[in-house]
Structure 1
Amino acid sequence: MNQTAIPSLTEVSQLAGRIAAEMARVIEGKDRQIRTVVTVLLAEGHLLIEDVPGVGKTVLAKSLGRAISGDVKRIQFTPDLLPSDVTGVSVFNQSTREFEFKPGGIFAHIVLGDEINRASPKTQSALLEAMAEGQVSADGHTYRLAEPFMVIATQNPIEMEGTYPLPEAQRDRFMARITMGYPARQAEVAMLEHHAGGDQLSTVQPVTDAAAVAAAARAIRAVYVAPVINDYIVAIVEGTRRHPDLRLGASPRASLHLMRAARVEAALAGRDYVIPEDVRALAVEVLAHRVLPTVEAQVSRRDPETIVRAIVEATQAPNRG
């Protein structure tokens, strides 16, 4: 595929397939999670992976970085991490008698924010501008980030010791959230066999580069979204704002993220237009982490995923005929 030209949607689908297949070499039995990672990458979004320790969150993120020949950096979030460690800092150069900007870990194509909720809310907030606008402002200057630019953040459940809940503004920057879950028994047995030989991440080879991914993302923007599909997306999002089990609904940014993710879903299915099924396929992953259930819903153990799924099912889809 020509890296400088806009690829066809067929080429985009083939590219996504190669990335997913390479990641699947080290991620056993998690095809849906891998597909979501690739979808968010091509939709120019950011991904939050939430689950208990040891289920493969970091391996999933690292495998994507290895499958793409680009600049990949890891930021290990700890309680003593400073915002300047993330974004960068200006340092006085004695020889030139001027301040020079030293970029932080956020300056990469793919940034793995490991255990993001172990850092203080102030440090977490250092990501806000970068994730929303693709830039960093420091000392009166604005520095553009690379394209593509994707943050993959992992976090443990907030009930676990030594963690801070992500601010709502931070969670809203993530296009989607996924959980890994424990592997099926056969997948876990296969994992033991494959890892007996050492670090399996070393077997993941680059199958594309950052320029090709950026071109594929630009091609996705041409996928047609009919006005009735936009109405359908907004109707689902509005449903989260009116639902009695939710005290905070999804934002307008959520509508935009759902539309962009649905475009990728359509392209990977070989279509240059979005259908209601594309929206429904991703609604829970895109919306559930942005909403807050009421106390009554929490007591009754009605989780956000179940509530959002019910809203999607209750929302009338447009007639495809």
Structure 2
Amino acid sequence: TYEEGLPFAQERHLDSVRAYMDGWLALLKLYRGDWSAAEEIGQEAVGRQSTSPGRGPALVALGRLYTRRGDPAAMAALDEGLDLLLKQGFRQREGMIRTARAEAAWLAGDQEKTLAEAREVFDLALSYHHEWYVGELAFWRWRAGEAVVLPEWAAEPFALQIAGNWRGAAAAWEAMGCPYEQARALADGDAEAQKQALAMFEQLGARPMVERVRQMLRDAGVDTIPRGPRATTKENPFQLTNRQMQILALLVEELTNAEIAARLHISPKTVDHHVSAVLGKLNVSSREEAAVLARQSPDLTPK
């Protein structure tokens, strides 16, 4: 387990192993809907091990998270993740990055790129009998308009949705505790299911799918479309993680990266990643602007 493996890796200074484990933990948090934790764990793994070959899963987690949020930082993470996996030469691991890149292309409306990414390692995934990669790669090919035939052993939730059984797919995802995937299946359903999907996407902060489902409801002539929570009433409208709130508070104190690193017992490289993320989320270009905004906004006051 992670709890057993982490001390083992730390005691033996197996930095690449720790980065790999943290990356998978970030992916787990992402799929379970804990996006703030996924971002925090992923950023710390990438920042702490900026040259480690084990940081691939963390880059995939961040790329997939940013894709689902509509954050333009997504492709930088996914490009770096692809480059890293290709350099390692382990083609059997490409499934994790190709599925993420196919999703990003589909959400961007690029059907051709969606197909290209999903086809790239589909046959390889088949040869390895990898039910989840085969299922998701086929899913994105289907989403891009291509007819696909799945082997009977392909992952059930994807197979159900491709077959048109959105209720079964949503139930399967719900049983696994994957709210984003559950909502994505519900979005293929009737108006009531789509309204449920919309609420779930809004709760997660999945802006591209919120916009897509709203448009689907409008196109269907639905008059009463839930407006969702106002930004001013959200607990954290800037979507900063707990760690990022800590970083911001120290920026207000005008600490340098080295001083922040010493205060929080993390590396300066990790601080640099967090500061960049904070500036991006606040839509400011400097530490000074972030500090000014924090002083002016009650939403950015550490609780």
Smaller-chain TM-score bracket: under 0.3
Bigger strand share: 1
- Return the structure number with greater relative CO, CA threshold 8 A, min gap 6: 1
Bigger helix share: 2
* TM-score (normalizing by structure 2): 0.27
